Amino acid sequence: MGSPPENSTLPGASSRAAVGRLTAGWQRRSRPPRLGEHDSRVGPLPTVREARRGPAGLIEAVTAAGLTGRGGAGFPTGSKLQAVASRRGPATVVVNGMESEPASEKDQALLAMAPHLVLDGAVLAARAVGAGTVHICLDRARPVQVDEVWQAAEERRLAGRDQVQLLIHDLPGHYVSSEETALISWLNGAEARPATVPPRPFESGVQRRPTLVDNVETLAHIALIARYGPDWFRSGGVRDAPGTMLVTISGGVSHPGVYEVAGGTRTGDILALSGAAERGHVLVGGYFGTWHHLDEVAHLPFTAAGLRTAGAAPGAGVLYVLPEQSCGVAETARVLGYLASQGAQQCGPCMFGLPAIADDFAQLADARPAGDVLDRLARRLAVIPGRGACRHPDGAVRLAASALTAFASDVRGHASRRACAARWRRASSALPLPRSRADGGWR
């Protein structure tokens, strides 16, 4: 058995904030590590008997570890495992590797650098909840990733490693297609659009079975907790944010990329890893997140509880630093236009409300508002949230509202037809927006 990865400093990282658990042994290479390399790095998969050690084995260990979901919602993973395991009949596991958040790359990095760690976690979770099949959902716009994960699964099948079936699926990659009910809908033969809840996936998911849907990073943590135990997991991080987490940093920084940090690390210390300036604005939590002055969040722990005082949340671990020469109003307008185009076209408030606020922001960005755009926005931002089947409209509204506050002086200028100088530096448009994938449809 390999030794537990310590909270060692990543090669190349200068700050103490970076640690290496999930990322232990990552190096530049042309292909993901094979099964043998993976096992020698982290140790072999615990046997079925070992996994059942203790009253409830893995579920108890994950609960004791205090692991929370790393897909954005932050729900306690142990509770979710327990909810699925306690339902009657055979269960199913769905691996959410869609990573539809354009400013996030951590799941893609994890699947490229440690696919077997993710698959180990999925197989262990399947054993724990009584599932015979694991559905791995990936974005079909990433054929290399799909091929690599397929090869990893094939390697395991030939080695006779798992008693569960691993099925790889490539789904249409719309922003809302990574929502868990959208995955289940697609796996059941319908379109990859979010569905009305209840029923929740743990009650009735794939083929109406109790279904566990977990993000790939969450499953990778499960694979390590099963090997080294909850105490080891909690030896990193803080009480309300145990273990480590992956963070994607991009924008106006000298070293953009994916970093692994201990739970509870201050936001400013995380940003320092990427060489971010200490002034300016940052988008916290991705395109469903919120804009802030750096000095508003730098001293806060990058955790749900820590960021709450600033009205922010870590989301899927995303930090985007607004480049110095960019206009926050114009950048927000671009993202809102993208989010409006990415709705599932199912719910009225989202179908009509998001294009309306995106248009308001486009008028603001151009400094050519029609009528009282701020008054109109205030009214629209108040009426849209909480009325969709999924949280897509709520996320877009949160982003828009935070921009009005964080860029208040720019907003006032634009609203009175004085665009900021940055507006005309078109090259400064930097927030990544995937090309429209309307051609792929929803099937």
Partner 1 sequence: MTLRLRLDPIACAGHGLCAGLLPERIGLDEWGYPVITGDVPPGLAREARRAVRACPTLALRLSRVHGTRDPSEQKARHRERNS
Residue 385 CA to residue 349 CA, distance in Å, equals 8
By the rule CB under 8 A, 388 interacts with partner 1: yes
Is 251 a residue that touches partner 1 (CB under 8 A)?
no
CB of 351 to partner 1, least distance (A): 8
- Work out which of 353, 358, 364, 402 binds partner 1, going by CB under 8 A: 353
* Choices 54-62, 69-77, 122-130, 342-350 (CB under 8 A): range interacting with partner 1: 342-350
Distance between CA 385 and CA 394 in Å, rounded? 5
242 binds partner 1 (CB under 8 A): no
Closest to 100 in 3D by CA, of 250, 215, 195, 247: 215
**What type of residue is 98?**
M
Q: Is 196 in the site for partner 1 (CB under 8 A)?
A: yes
CB of 188 to partner 1, least distance (A): 16
Q: Find the binder of partner 1 among 29, 255, 387, 417 (CB under 8 A).
A: 387
When binding is defined by CB under 8 A, the residue of 347, 373, 399, 403 that contacts partner 1 is 347
Confirm or reject binding of residue 190 to partner 1 (CB under 8 A). no
Structural element, H or E, at residue 129:
helix 115-129
Q: Is 372 a binder of partner 1 (CB under 8 A)?
A: no
Minimum distance from residue 395 beta carbon to partner 1 (Å): 15
Specify the stretch interacting with partner 1 by CB under 8 A; choose among 57-65, 119-127, 346-354, 412-420: 346-354
Q: Single out the segment in contact with partner 1 by CB under 8 A; choices: 60-68, 248-256, 341-349, 434-442.
A: 341-349
Residue 121 found at the interface with partner 1 (CB under 8 A): no
* Residue 305 Cβ vs partner 1, minimum distance, rounded to whole Å: 27
C-alpha distance from residue 384 to each of 22, 38, 286, 297, 351 (Å): 39, 47, 20, 27, 10
- If binding is defined by CB under 8 A, does position 346 make contact with partner 1? yes
Q: Report H helices in 130-236.
A: 143-159, 180-187, 216-234
CA distance 110 to 338: 26
Q: Can you tell me which of 195, 283, 316, 415 binds partner 1, judged by CB under 8 A?
A: 195
User: In this structure, what DSSP letter does residue 266 have?
Assistant: B
Q: Is 381 in the site for partner 1 (CB under 8 A)?
A: no
Other CB atoms within 10 A of residue 229 CB: 15
Residue 192 as a binder of partner 1 (CB under 8 A): the answer is no
Reading phi first (left if > 0) and then psi (alpha if -120 to 50, else beta), residue 8 is in beta
The residue whose two tokens read 């969040």 is: 297
Contact (Cβ atoms closer than 8 angstroms) between residue 352 and residue 343:
no
What CA–CA distance (Å, rounded) separates 397 from 354? 8
Signed CA dihedral, 435, 219, 17, 304: sign only? positive
Instruction: Pick between residue 169 and residue 391 the one whose CB is nearest to partner 1.
Output: 391
Part in contact with partner 1 (CB under 8 A); list of ranges 54-62, 93-101, 123-131, 378-386: 378-386
Rule CB under 8 A: choose which of 389, 400, 401, 403 binds partner 1: 389
Q: What is the C-alpha to C-alpha distance for residues 221 and 227, in angstroms, rounded to an integer? A: 10
Element (H, E) at 92: strand 91-96
| Span from 8-16, 143-151, 349-357, 363-371 in contact with partner 1 (CB under 8 A) | 349-357
CA gap 353, 130 in Å, rounded: 42
Q: How far is the CB of 187 from partner 1 (least distance, A)?
A: 18
Stretch that binds partner 1, among 6-14, 262-270, 350-358, 423-431 (CB under 8 A): 350-358
Instruction: Tell whether residue 411 is a contact of partner 1 (CB under 8 A).
Output: no
Give whole-number Cα distances, 325 to 29, 252, 280, 321, 427, in Å: 35, 9, 10, 11, 9
Among positions 163, 352, 417, 443, the unique one binding partner 1 when judged by CB under 8 A: 352
- The window from 78-86, 136-144, 384-392, 433-441 that contacts partner 1 (CB under 8 A) reads 384-392
Helix and strand numbers (H, E) in the chain are 17, 11
Which of 54, 90, 143, 348 binds partner 1 (CB under 8 A)? It is 348
Which residues sit at the interface with partner 1, rule CB under 8 A?
Answer: 195-196, 346-349, 352-353, 356, 380, 383-384, 387-389
